[in-house]
Amino acid sequence: MVDTWQPTEQKTTISAERLSHIASLVINQESIQEDVMRLDSTDVELINSYLHLPQSVWLKAIENFNDSQVLNLCMLFTVGEMKYPTWTFGSKNPTIYFLRQLKTEKRPAEKDFVRWLKKQTDNRYIPYGPALF
């Protein structure tokens, strides 16, 4: 008998509830290295399944989040990209989408926070993405 390959169903939404839970795992900048490692394998795999979703889907998922939750996710996705080999976001790191959105809404992240993020990663696209997008 020959097995046939069945493509996995492509996700088109992100669970705001799960993202909120993931954001709640982040305590602060000093503990982020440990906080990221507190993700369970289910959450790591869930984020893997969201890797290539468009910006609009990410922004829809966080539309009711407060700034603190959004910044927690920025820390988590920035540091997480360095910790989890399967999280290869590059120019599609949700941190970029989130920081751009905050800036557009006239609620930009503090400069010290942005500098701190940049020091945590070798992803050259963080904080605001490619020059031309």
Task: Provide block-wise average pLDDT over 10 residues at a time, the chain (133 residues).
Answer: 58 90 96 95 94 94 97 97 93 96 96 97 93 65
Residues 6+ apart with CB under 8 A from 87: 44, 47, 48, 51, 77, 80, 81
pLDDT of residue 6: 54
Helix residue ranges per DSSP H, 38-93: 41-50, 55-61, 67-83
Element (H, E) at 3: none
